[in-house]
Amino acid sequence: MTVRSFDVVALQVPIVYNTYGDHDRDGTLFTLAENAAHLRSIGEHFPNPFPDPLTQPDQLPVPDPLVRPLVLRVHAGDTVVVRFHNQLRRRAGIHPRGVGYDVRTADGGQVGRNRDSAVEPGDRHEYTWECAEEGVFLFNDLADLRGGEEGSNAHGLFGALVVEPRGATWTDPVTGEEISDGLYADVHVPGEPSFREYVVFMQDETDNHNPVNPPHPAHFCDEPRPHGHSVAQGQPRLVPEIFPEHGDPEHGGHASGEAAHSMMLMSLRTEPMGWRSLAYERLIDQGRLDLTRDQMVGEEQHHSSWLFGDPSTPILRAYPGDRSRIRLVHAGVKETHVFHLHLHQWHAVPGNENSPIIDSISISPQQAFTIEPIGGAGSVQKATGDIIWHCHLYPHFHAGMWGMWRVFNTLQDGSGHYPDGTPIAALRRLPGHDTPPAPTARRPGFPGFIPGEFPQKSPRPPRTPLMPEGMGREPTELERDAFCEDPQPGEAFTKSTLDPSAPVRRYDLVVLQGNINYYNTSGGHGNSWHDHRGVFFVLAEEIEAAGGVEEFQRQLEEGTREVAPIAIRGRKGEVIELSLTNELPVGCHESTAFDPVLPLQPECGLHVHLVKFDPLVSDGASVGWNYLSGTATTDQGDEARELYRTWIYRWYCDEEFGTVFFHDHLLANERQRHGLFGAMIAEPEGAVWVDQHDHSREVRNGNQAVVTLPDGTAFREQVLAMADFVPLVEHGHGEAGAPINPPAYPGGLEDHGTVAVGYRCAPLHERPGAPDEFFSSAVHGDPGTPLLRGYPGEDIRLRLYQGSHEEQHTLTVHGMRWHAWPADPASPVRDQQTLGISEAFNLHLEPDASPGDHLWGFTAADDTWLGAWGLFRLHESEVDDLPALPGAFAGPPLPPFTRPDRRYRVRVRPREIHYSDQRSDPFGLMYSVDGGPAEQTMVLRCRVGEWVEVELHNELSGPGEATPFDPEFSAKDDPDSREISEWVSLHAGSLLRTDVRTGDGSHVGDNPTSLVKPGDSVRLRWFADREGVVLLQDRADIRNHRHRGLVGALVVEPAGATPADWTGARTRLRLPDGSVEHELVLVLQDGVRLYHDGDPTQPVTDLDTEVVDQGQKAFNHRSAHLLPRHPSLADPEPRTPVLEVRRGDAVRLHLAVGADRGRNHSFEVHGQTWPMEEHLDGPRVGSLGALSAGSVRSLRFTADRRGDWAYRTGQLRWGLSEGLWGLIRVR
């Protein structure tokens, strides 16, 4: 055993985020003691008063390289001793994850009956950690649990522990010397190629003491300006748009006080788009730009180093093929982010080739992942250039949450310079990899061969020999010398594949603006919801068939033509060659309730995920020192604009990826919420795709298809594209359009608009009447959202992605389930999928679903209310317009029901639910099971292989009372006037098998109802064939019942296991081998409305104005909410469940998320790790994330050390403060 010691100091130091004046003067850091003196000197010399960023930009402080999160590197198997000295003026402690430690002495705070292991100001404490598992793990301050700006975590008091392979050493990538700290290292493992390691921290909700707010990047004009004139004259318009939830234009501008906005950071740095707009204005004022050539709206150049120089955010550096690991850490307090890395892909679980290949991942507070890009730097094609990585939530991207991975193709020895004159730091060759060639005058390497000037707009890429005449400029000699062998259109400097025989499939795309009809009242005579400025991709052949662009647009406006997100297809092993023609309208576009004035139409690109391409010419973006690879309009002022009205992109499908997302990357914040996204489905080799109604007709563009394979099998395919922030206008009975949920001002990026699936929605507001009939086709007709159809037993695959814009969403399908990993039948079976923007999933549905109408939907209450739901109709016998596929009607039948193996009588009763001593819900509803614990969350149990029968009794006396204080939806809702259903139901998640026509606990489509009216009862039968936890909830009134308490759980125990109690959240479980495990079931609630002392006139005030954060939170109808001024986990008997076990006992913890709100959660247990996926042995992690409405997870671990272990959310803002924590007490 090796003992590795660190002397760590916590101190206060101003943190400068960038060169524009954004900073946190109250920053706090963990640092090695050897760096403390330097960091203290920063505070001593920090300017006071702070310079004015507008009038004194040359006096602004710049980021210091030592002001960074602390990274400690150790070996697997090491014992780590951290000698901690608290030099802050507040208590502080270091709370670890992923390691073994004594929670009584090393938790970094006080939990339950444990001794307080936080440290008073000026004092010292020694923490000991046992590092058994390789990986990356967050550590942070646990002495201060406040999630707001007053808390220490928001000010930077966190770091990462990286547990390296045994025997590894780590060195500085620039000097080659061994290092003790740092975000970047070259790691050398005996007997293996070395790898580059980059630790990247994501952080949100941080303080900013800049005296001014950055400008909104969208400029304003009253009329179109001729070429050669600035798009924004005079002083920039300063509005508080750095972070969308704060500020409004009435309070923007250059004020004497501090800017009131939060920051989105990458490793304590940020590069907001607003400040780059200001930099553009300054360049204009200085006469340094050619406004014919360099005219810019904003976003299309915000990531350009040619115009602005490199950002303050991290730039990772490598040579092509360098083996690499990105250690991604979420140190924020609130948001679930989506990390996306252009060009590269990785397996969801490092080293496991059965896990899905992805390039975007949701990450929640206090999670950490290791990303191992396939093929290393530059991906398998060994590309060169600047590769952007960013949070894909567009308001966060806009706010500065991005950086780059710079892949050089020539050796950097420290003597070179970038085009702006900045020195290029040396980068040592990575041992075990080829040495890059030295730069020469003829082959200077990237970016030296690109013919740009600084500062100017990014240059456009050159034509290649086989491009059509009139497309692209001629290359320079340096560019010709840099070309790859046999350059192709869309592939100039890097070959996407080395297989010259790869077949080429071609699509010609056009980008258009036109009316998109999202919703029409049945019959077309009532309300309709439209986006009159919809933007979308369409096939050129479809425009030609319609009679041209104008005729196509006219048909959309008249409603004689509909459009859906484009869905094209290609096979594994094919090259996909696409042309994109820009037909977007030019000139100045007037503002709307949603959009600011667009002074001109900037370029439009085609950025794709997952597949292989040349990033310099086919990224559809403008990043760093790369080219601007987009299509132009006549609004671009340079003479070459006509050469770029159409551009060619070239992709290679090297894997059967399934869903491949693509979109514009040059005005994404504006265009994508208007619909500018699509998908390519990368199908198996040899696949053929045809119309599901006519198998003789190929589908060129379609979200529904039948895919046949060479072996004679076939599957149905349905693409579902989720979108939020959709800017819709409502028309009713000839009335002028009224915007639905617009932002506070045009261009505002706070939550706004509505949601849709496939450019369609079925808002429940427009299905008036009783809530228990919302989903009934007999009452309202089928919804206008995509109707999925098929037959039981067929192979059916859902291709799922999110096209816009910020929020996370959660999909469930009643009565259907799938394996988490399509390539691994041993992977867990799921019935819910969380997704964020740019994430793509392939859900291969199990063939055991029953006939009937299955509700698919995004089940956070707000999404369902606004219409993100539809029907999946499985016909009982073949119908004429839908030819059946092989395997139809041959799926595994439900086992015959003779008698129930497990029978429960459940009652729904109104009661005041006491969540804590001070807070209750006087309008509460609860399930209670006969013979079970009274006034507790209902938890039922059964075994694998058993039939469960539940007799549900409705003991309500009538409909509940509406209250104005219920958490509201984002649009079309008035809680005070809601109709509340008197009918109730009990819907079980689809991990149980049932006939949805009789056992679903719902009233969906054409199915008969399985709801229960007052005084009546219904029998529901479910078959349990898999272990795990199942969420139980009401579906009779999705708007009211769940948040008033109608949630519970059912646990399917192993066959032969015997629980001590068949009901209740806690039990002892005896397994067939005689061993015993302790079981705790937690049902997480989010969006409940609680009242002080049960007074219905005194609701608990929401801590946040965002709709997604309204309401309170609880575990099992209990809340251990913290005191706002001195939050602590020191309560030895919190109201939430306490599980008591003995040291050495095995624990099963089941978590079911019965939330109303869409805010994602994370979850951890102090001192414990578990496999990243339930069916694996490793790698192990210390936190779950992306938990949303309907999520269920099961954790198993051993209570190996005495003390009180906290289980809790990772969200300090506002999950923990609202009571999402409890204890596991180990004696």
What average pLDDT does the segment 851-869 reach? 98
pLDDT on residue 235:
32
pLDDT over threshold 60, residue 524 = no
Q: How confident is the model at residue 70 (pLDDT cuts 50, 70, 90)?
A: very high
| Cβ–Cβ < 8 Å for 437, 471 | no
pLDDT on residue 215:
62
Q: Record the pTM.
A: 0.96
DSSP string, 751-767: S-SEEEETTB---GGGS
pLDDT on residue 518:
97
| Sign of the torsion formed by the C-alpha atoms of 389, 392, 394 and 395 | negative
Rounded CA separation 345/740 (Å): 38
Rounded CA separation 1075/1196 (Å): 14
| Cβ–Cβ < 8 Å for 275, 20 | yes
Q: How confident is the model at residue 776 (pLDDT cuts 50, 70, 90)?
A: very high
pLDDT over threshold 60, residue 246 = no
Which positions ≥6 away from 134 have C-beta within 8 Å? 76, 163, 164, 165, 1179
pLDDT on residue 236:
33
**Phi and psi torsions of 1110, nearest 5°:** -75, 150
Residue type at 404?
M
| Cβ–Cβ < 8 Å for 837, 663 | no
pLDDT on residue 814:
98
- What CATH number has the domain spanning 902-1226? 2.60.40.420
What average pLDDT does the chain have?
94
Per residue in 879-927, pLDDT (tens digit) is 999 999 999 999 999 999 999 999 999 999 999 999 999 999 999 999 9
Instruction: Please give the angle made by the CA atoms of 475, 480 and 482, to the nearest 5 degrees.
Output: 125
Per residue in 275-306, pLDDT (tens digit) is 999 999 999 999 999 888 888 888 899 999 99
| Cβ–Cβ < 8 Å for 847, 819 | no
pLDDT on residue 216:
56
Q: How confident is the model at residue 226 (pLDDT cuts 50, 70, 90)?
A: very low
Which positions ≥6 away from 237 have C-beta within 8 Å? 215, 216, 219, 220, 252
pLDDT on residue 525:
54
Per-domain boundaries in the chain:
3-166, 504-874, 902-1226
Q: How confident is the model at residue 521 (pLDDT cuts 50, 70, 90)?
A: confident
Rounded CA separation 191/197 (Å): 18
Rounded CA separation 1204/104 (Å): 7
Per residue in 814-826, pLDDT (tens digit) is 999 999 999 999 9
Per residue in 164-190, pLDDT (tens digit) is 999 999 999 999 999 999 999 999 999
Start-end of H helices in 547-667:
549-558, 615-618
Q: Answer yes or no: same fold for 3-166 and 504-874.
A: yes
Going by C-alpha positions, the residue among 757, 720, 759, 724 that lies closest to residue 840 is: 720
Rounded CA separation 337/19 (Å): 25
Q: How confident is the model at residue 212 (pLDDT cuts 50, 70, 90)?
A: confident
Helix, strand, coil tally for the chain in percent (to 5): 10, 35, 55
pLDDT on residue 862:
96
Per residue in 16-67, pLDDT (tens digit) is 999 999 999 999 999 999 999 999 999 999 999 999 999 999 999 999 999 9
pLDDT over threshold 60, residue 255 = no
pLDDT over threshold 80, residue 213 = no
pLDDT over threshold 90, residue 257 = no
Q: Does domain 504-874 have CATH number 3.40.640.10?
A: no
Rounded CA separation 100/1203 (Å): 13
pLDDT on residue 241:
34
pLDDT on residue 228:
32
pLDDT over threshold 70, residue 480 = yes
pLDDT over threshold 80, residue 258 = no
pLDDT over threshold 60, residue 1165 = yes
pLDDT on residue 634:
87
The fold for domain 3-166 equals Immunoglobulin-like (2.60.40)
Cis peptide, bond prior to residue 447, ω within 30 of zero = yes
Number of H helices, E strands in the chain: 11, 71
Per residue in 96-145, pLDDT (tens digit) is 999 999 999 999 999 999 999 999 999 999 999 999 999 999 999 999 99
Dihedral (Cα; 766, 769, 772, 778), 10-degree rounding: -80
Which positions ≥6 away from 772 have C-beta within 8 Å? 981, 983, 1003, 1009, 1011, 1036, 1037
Percent of the chain scored above 70 by pLDDT?
96
pLDDT over threshold 70, residue 231 = no
- Whole-angstrom distance between the N-terminal and C-terminal Cα of the chain? 28
pLDDT over threshold 50, residue 578 = yes
pLDDT on residue 238:
31
What average pLDDT does the segment 477-502 reach? 97
Per residue in 300-338, pLDDT (tens digit) is 999 999 999 999 999 999 999 999 999 999 999 999 999
